[in-house]
Amino acid sequence: MRVEAVILDLDGVVVTTDEFHYQAWQRLAGEEGVSFDRKINNRLRGVSCMESLTILLEKAKRKYSDKEKKEMAARKNRYYVDLLDEKLKPDGVLPGAMDFMEELKAHGIKVAIGSSSKNGMMILQKVGMDAYFDAVVDGNDITKSKPDPEVFLIAAKRLDIEPWDCLVIEDTEAGVAAGIAAGMKVFAVGAAADDERADVSAPSLEHISADEIIAALT
Ligand code: BG6
Ligand code: MG
């Protein structure tokens, strides 16, 4: 393949927001008396807010109505957005991410975001990167969340690049599956670094150069 575009997941690949998601879910679970830990949290990575809530409530002592679930999702989102507001600054960009993307741009490779988050644009504004990408596709643009490939296919279309010339960078199981289902190559980092389905992997973008990745795929 020729790498003509790279589509990066946002939470856990470009920014540190995954910890804020964890804290917001933990606060909600505490208020509802539902047991929650980092192991359960790992299953929420990369999937939509409502699907995350369904997973969180697997351990609940009672059933919740749809109305209650909507209220809880909105409450979790408030806690999350408050954390973003208070704590997310330009230094929330993960180590190595900026250099990696600059290297891609220097090679004439297009760079996009493919995120399940409805807060994607707000996050990019907070870290000062809202004008940095050739395309941003987030939770507001999709009807099916990862592992469905929709988010990455829309990004490829907006970039006008064929899926097979795109590389996805992901840190979650659902995201790696979505990239493969989109017919794209996948580079797994962070929590997904040991996912054997990925074409290439590294602990983070700090540990490998864009040149090394491109060479490994071509
Ligand atoms: C993904 C996160 O990017 O977005 C998930 O990895 C999160 O943990 C999902 O649930 C939805 O995000 P938001 O901002 O719409 O709650
Ligand atoms: Mg992620």
What pLDDT, on a 0 to 100 scale, did the predictor assign at position 166?
98
CATH 3.20.20.70 correct for 18-87: no
So where are the chain's domains?
5-16+90-217, 18-87
Nearest protein Cα to ligand 1, atom 1: 46
SS3 of 1, please? coil
Instruction: Name the active-site residue from 11, 18, 138, 195.
Output: 11
Pocket test for ligand 1, best of 10, 20, 21, 169 (most atoms within 8 A of CB): 21
Q: Is the separation of the CB atoms in 188 and 168 below 8 Å? A: no
CA-nearest residue for atom 4, ligand 1, is 117
pLDDT at 1: 79
Q: Atom 8, ligand 1: which residue's CA is nearest?
A: 45
* pLDDT attached to residue 46: 87
Residue nearest to atom 5 of ligand 1 (CA): 46
The correct CATH number of 5-16+90-217 out of 3.30.2310.20, 3.40.50.1000, 2.50.20.10, 3.40.50.970 is 3.40.50.1000
60, 80 contact by CB (below 8 A): no
Looking at residue 207, its pLDDT comes to: 86
Is residue 45 in contact with ligand 1, taking CB distance under 6 Å? yes
Instruction: Report whether residue 11 contacts ligand 1, using a CB cutoff of 6 Å.
Output: yes
Check residue 74 and give its pLDDT.
98
Record the tokens describing residue 211, joined without a space: 């040149």
Based on the residue annotation, tell me whether 9 is a catalytic residue of this protein: yes
Return the residue matching tokens 């804020």.
20
Which ligand 1 atom sits closest to the C-alpha of 123? 14
Q: Is 20 exposed, middle or buried (0-12, 13-18, 19+ CB in 10 A)?
A: buried
- Cα–Cα distance for residue pair 41/26, rounded to 1 Å: 9
Phi, psi of 168 (to 5 degrees): -100, 140
Task: Answer yes or no: is the C-beta of 115 below 6 A from any ligand 1 atom.
Answer: yes
d(CA 65, CA 44): 21
**pLDDT averaged per 10 residues in sequence order, the chain, 218 residues:** 95 94 97 95 92 95 95 98 96 96 97 96 95 97 96 98 98 96 97 96 94 92
